[in-house]
Structure 1
Amino acid sequence: MGHKVIVFGVDGLMMPLVKKFAAEGELPHISRMLSEGAATELLPYISAWGDVNWAAFLSGQAPGTSWRGQALPADYARTRPLLKRLEESGLRAALVHFPESVASPAPHFTLSPYWSAAAPSPYTFAAPAIFTTDRQRLDVPPKPRQQTLGWPPSSPLAYHDKGLWQPLEREVNGEYRLTIRSPHGDNVTLSLDIDTLTLRSAHGGVTLVQGAWSDWLALGEVAQGGKARFWLAHVTPYIELIQSEVTFPQRIARDSVLAQMLFEDLGPFYSQWAVKASPDEALLASTFQDAEHQSLWLADSALRLTHQHGYSLWAGVHHLIDESHHLCLGQYDPDSPFYDPQQAARYEAVIRECYKILDRSLGRIINGMDKETTLFLASDHGAVPNHFMCDIQRYLAKHGLVALDNQGQIIRSQSLVYLKDERGGLEIYINLQGREPDGTVPLADYACLQARLLHLLRNWHIEHNGKVHHAVAWALRKEDAASAGYWGEYAGDVLFTYDSGFVWGTSASGEDICPVVAPGANHGPQKPTARTAHTSNYGVLLAFGAGIRRGYYHDHHHHGPYRMADPGATIAWLLGVKRDTLDGSVMQALLAPDETDI
């Protein structure tokens, strides 16, 4: 069947916790990968978030070549990334729930590209929801936040908000009614017989079992074949049940026939769950079950598509661990200002369970792969606890470089500089006359304004508890940013990264820099090398199987780090395709002796 590579991507996976839980005996399959394969940490690019780094990983190219912006794939034919080189060699890749910023035209297969926009996903009929008869839950308005973290400011993601609460209404006949609401068309109403715990649609019914997911229930033509399942949480003192995400089976993949074969074997695919991965959530068990089903679905699809359908490369991304880091590291890591030793074990237990779910999925792949398969367990970044919030827009406005409206949004025609929502929040663009539609800065002032930006960024600081903390770790002119992997027409005129513990956001009280008011952890804005004694912003690569050196750990402190573009070049080497258009280097130290260049 030929050499195959499976890239099981895990958003946010970090080596300190891999090693910790493996040493505790909790990760038998990952421990096997460590002992019988090769491993290393990977240095992310800025922004240290998935969109930039998965694009670099799978293309084998640095962001200057591979990344135009979130949901804006680079020119596939011009840049000739790894997938193009596969196509030229007659090979195909399958991308399952992989970021949509990676171009993957035919003959490659895509299913449920990761949707990051604020608009409803075109692949989703209905988001997951929680139905309840508890009016207190439904009627109490949410508390306004003092701070909102994330980039872009208009669509923050750092809190991983979920919990779409909906009413469960009692009918005259004693049954209950719930309505699955869709942004794409008509809603679907179901009836619940609480005596028999039976939930019915016009197309069938399922029986509910408390604390477990039901069978899948067809929702009919309005959902275009979509199905939902349900998790019964409570019957008394109030009724509460969770509805899964409902996806469109005919829209979710490029090849609907192949996708239908997967759905018949593995069940529907969904991208998100209803309850946050936090010990503060009463219905957390539903997320563990839901996320594990998705993780195993990914693992099974990797084996089927590579071993039965002729795909030479499979790549997908699972997001549970990243979510647990955002929500739990702020109370787990002693470096966090919110650390409480009396509560830390609760948060550690949630993170550990997420890693154990991952380990069971890796076991599924290891037990099913043949001797011609290489398995990569990989991540795009890690995370470290938050200490301070930074509002770059307000900081630049304070110094007269940006004009903001009453909602805090930039007025481009009155601003000397600006940031782009899709570019990750670490690149500043000069509003240059002749280049920008509403340019305000003469070309003669360009270099002077670059210098002013560097001065402002390098001197942005906060005095806290008697110490001065500088917000920015480093800042570079565009012409110097090749050292960070950036070049070309899309790069900002000044690039920078925040120091460890600083996170992008906005504050209701108007500060441009201040302590965070709630526990959390982040990765995207911070320098790629950020770390504490317990956490790290580096990504992870564990390699196992065909062509991989046994029992080797590449310590970046002693040998220097591999970067996010290097795995793509290494995959090209393993699959025997040309890599002259790739920026990454083959990770020779991780390969078996007979696989390395002479």
Structure 2
Amino acid sequence: MTVYWLVWDAAAHWIVERLTAQGALPHTARLRAAGISAAARPPAPNCQTPPSLATLFTGTWPERHGVTGFRIPGTGGTVEESSDAFAPGRCTAPTVWRTAAEAGLRTAAVHVPWTIGADGQAEPGVDVAVEAYSDRIDRQAALPLTGGHQHFAVGPHPLDVAPEGDRIRVGCEDRSVTLGERDTQWRPLRLGTDSGVWLRMVATGGQRVLLRTGAWRPRVVGQDRTLTEALTGGEGLPVFAGEGIGPTYRAGLLGPRLVDGGDGSAEDLFLSSVACVHRSFEAPARTVLARHTAALVVIYLPTTDDLGHELIGWCDPKSAAHRPDAAEQIWRRVRTCYGWADRLLGEVLDRAGEQDTVLLGADHGIAGTAWTVHPNEALIAAGLAARTPDGALDPRRSSVLYHPAGNGSLWVNHQDLPGGLVPRSAARALLDRAESVLRAVTEPGGGRPATAGFAPSPGGDPAVVRHVLFDPDFLPTAALRPDRAPVVPSHKPGAHITNNGDPRLHAVFAARGPGLSPGVDLGTVDNTVPAQVALRQLGLSPDDRSRQSLSDPTARRVCTAT
């Protein structure tokens, strides 16, 4: 008996509902017909990927698992300091695979965080863990070609570009690939022994450009030697790409976007880079599916998130970013990307037997964003925060700041912290004043507020820290602007940073297996429920965390359906 758990990053329930109704996700429809399904509420006040995955994989909220954003403030030191949420041991609640290991059950994990310890070895009970995100060498880039010999670097790896007629040869040490602007496929180039990039040459705006993905160093560790060797033998895994070329697309370097008057070729180029990402994840997933002997198999897929950040707002009818003139063309690209994810789900369903369980989940949903909001600009204008002479945020001269960690939190720089500025006794009043300042921030030319509310920080001292709940149409950033504008149009039309309860941020959830009633729609549940279902299907007794979450009416519906 095996529990297969497939996680699509940022797969919003509203998107999956629409695509399934259109017949675009046949395997998702097949799974939902065979078992239970729901919209799943992500954590609050922050629903970035780390806290949302921690909630999904532990069945607990941030107050318990301690993950409050991509970076976590308040972990010691000065007010601006923070720590990496994906660092080993940073999730303090037991994951499903750790609970399974305590019962003697084994796990295989494909690009799942918190499965490799600080010593570089797999966590207890993990047969194999494939992971690359923790060691990024370089980000994606676009190199304008001059027609002559050129050099550039990817991290420590020097690359040469040499013209060969109307083509180019790109080389690194003794490896090279030849590219032409009429080529329709990306080509992988390995760098050294443990990394690589995907390359493609295109002509846009009268200029030939060499596109490349970012580079990461994947690692494969675990106790199942046969499986680890299957993943590392020969050429091993395909060249890993952890994200597409979204920043290059956003900057207009692929040509004008559809919403800027383009013909869709820029979107197609961007989507083709996301296909490289899908190949990076699909290959190890297929190997694990074919060869594992584990009781729990967890597979993570980031492509739905990658695409959503760059495109989803323009076909989100509830967002001010919605563009009816381009929405259907954008939606076709969304349908393609989700179709790749659905195909992998089909392979999981085909691998699973009658006594196995298949779960489809997501860490959170995603909503359209029309505006970028700079809270620190408003705080500086009100005299609560300060900037350095070169225009950056100066935490040491700030009484209150929107934290550089970017997790939605306001912090008072009180004197109990190293280098603190204001008495701790003044902190609550300063937070109240900062809240009033941010409530007054609105969209340019309109009265729509950037904030939707305020909330306590999970596990934090309410006297010195408070979370801002932004309207989903406002993408917050801790960065400052040369023109000092607090709100500007957003070039990134999809986001999921703070959670004010908007249902577009709800994640997809579906599961079929022994004891799960077919065709049951549970409505809306907490995203703590999938972990409880996984534990139940593994035959593990509920622990204290699940007893608490299974005590509410929503969870009782899950019990009835199982």
TM-score (norm 2): 0.78
Write the letter of the residue equivalent to 1:17: I
CA contact (8 A) 1:430 1:446 kept: yes
Structure 2 distance, partners of 1:389, 1:328, is 16
Write the letter of the residue equivalent to 1:56: T
CA contact (8 A) 1:97 1:316 kept: yes
Structure 2 distance, partners of 1:341, 1:40, is 28
> Are 1:428 and 2:410 counterparts?
yes
Structure 2 distance, partners of 1:530, 1:416, is 31
Structure 1 distance, partners of 2:266, 2:396, is 48
Question: Which of these residues, 442, 448, 452, is aligned with residue 462 of structure 1?
Answer: 442
Write the letter of the residue equivalent to 2:142: L
Write the letter of the residue equivalent to 1:4: V
Q: What residue number does 1:493 align with?
A: 465
1:568-583 to 2 correspondence within 5 Å? 568-582=531-545
Structure 2 distance, partners of 1:190, 1:462, is 48
Q: Any gaps of 5 or more consecutive residues in structure 1?
A: 116-121, 129-162, 171-176, 479-485, 557-561
Structure 2 distance, partners of 1:445, 1:200, is 60
Q: What residue number does 2:220 align with?
A: 253
> Are 1:165 and 2:158 counterparts?
no
Q: Secondary structure at the match of 1:39?
A: strand
Q: Secondary structure at the match of 1:310?
A: coil
Q: Which moved more, 1:75-84 or 1:307-316?
A: 75-84
Write the letter of the residue equivalent to 1:112: E
Identity within the alignment, %: 18
Write the letter of the residue equivalent to 1:425: N
Write the letter of the residue equivalent to 1:187: P
Question: Which of these residues, 423, 426, 431, is aligned with residue 445 of structure 1?
Answer: 426
> Are 1:61 and 2:35 counterparts?
no
What RMSD, in angstroms, separates the aligned Cα atoms of the two structures? 3.8
1:168-247 to 2 correspondence within 5 Å? 169-170=147-148, 179=151, 181-183=153-155, 185-189=156-160, 193-194=164-165, 203=174, 210-213=182-185, 218-219=190-191, 223-227=192-196, 230-231=199-200, 233=202, 242-243=211-212, 245-247=214-216
- CA deviations over 1:209-246 (Å, ceiling 9, x no partner): 85443775555xxx125455544546998765545555
CA contact (8 A) 1:99 1:113 kept: no
CA contact (8 A) 1:432 1:441 kept: yes
C-alpha deviation, 1:384, in angstroms: 2.4
Structure 1 distance, partners of 2:179, 2:544, is 54
C-alpha deviation, 1:497, in angstroms: 0.6
CA contact (8 A) 1:232 1:241 kept: yes
- CA deviations over 1:382-411 (Å, ceiling 9, x no partner): 222224432221222233322222344333
C-alpha deviation, 1:54, in angstroms: 0.8
Distance 1:312 1:470, change over 3 A: same
Q: Secondary structure at the match of 1:438?
A: coil
Q: What residue number does 1:585 align with?
A: 549
Question: Which of these residues, 3, 17, 34, is aligned with residue 19 of structure 1?
Answer: 17
Q: How many residues align?
A: 517
Structure 1 distance, partners of 2:421, 2:286, is 55
Write the letter of the residue equivalent to 2:123: P
Question: Which of these residues, 129, 150, 160, is aligned with residue 110 of structure 1?
Answer: 129
Structure 1 distance, partners of 2:165, 2:366, is 44
CA contact (8 A) 2:171 2:177 kept: yes
Q: What residue number does 2:253 align with?
A: none
CA contact (8 A) 1:100 1:114 kept: no
CA contact (8 A) 2:385 2:394 kept: yes
Structure 2 distance, partners of 1:564, 1:491, is 29
Write the letter of the residue equivalent to 2:64: T
CA contact (8 A) 2:51 2:62 kept: yes
Write the letter of the residue equivalent to 2:23: G
Write the letter of the residue equivalent to 2:483: S
Structure 2 distance, partners of 1:336, 1:448, is 34
> Are 1:552 and 2:508 counterparts?
no
Distance 1:271 1:450, change over 3 A: closer
> Are 1:396 and 2:379 counterparts?
yes
TM-score (norm 1): 0.74
Question: Which of these residues, 474, 495, 498, is aligned with residue 502 of structure 1?
Answer: 474
Distance 1:236 1:416, change over 3 A: closer
Write the letter of the residue equivalent to 1:550: P
CA contact (8 A) 1:374 1:547 kept: no
Structure 1 distance, partners of 2:34, 2:237, is 30
Q: Secondary structure at the match of 2:387?
A: coil
Write the letter of the residue equivalent to 2:241: Y
Write the letter of the residue equivalent to 1:426: G
Distance 1:445 1:187, change over 3 A: same
Q: Secondary structure at the match of 2:476?
A: strand
Structure 2 distance, partners of 1:110, 1:344, is 39
C-alpha deviation, 1:451, in angstroms: 3.9
Q: What residue number does 1:520 align with?
A: 493
- CA deviations over 1:97-156 (Å, ceiling 9, x no partner): 3356997734434323435xxxxxx354x655xxxxxxxxxxxxxxxxxxxxxxxxxxxx
Write the letter of the residue equivalent to 1:563: D
Structure 2 distance, partners of 1:76, 1:580, is 21
CA contact (8 A) 2:111 2:130 kept: yes
CA contact (8 A) 1:13 1:321 kept: yes
1:322-341 to 2 correspondence within 5 Å? 322-341=305-324
> Are 1:370 and 2:326 counterparts?
no
Structure 2 distance, partners of 1:412, 1:245, is 31
Write the letter of the residue equivalent to 1:182: V
Q: What residue number does 1:151 align with?
A: none
Structure 2 distance, partners of 1:518, 1:304, is 38
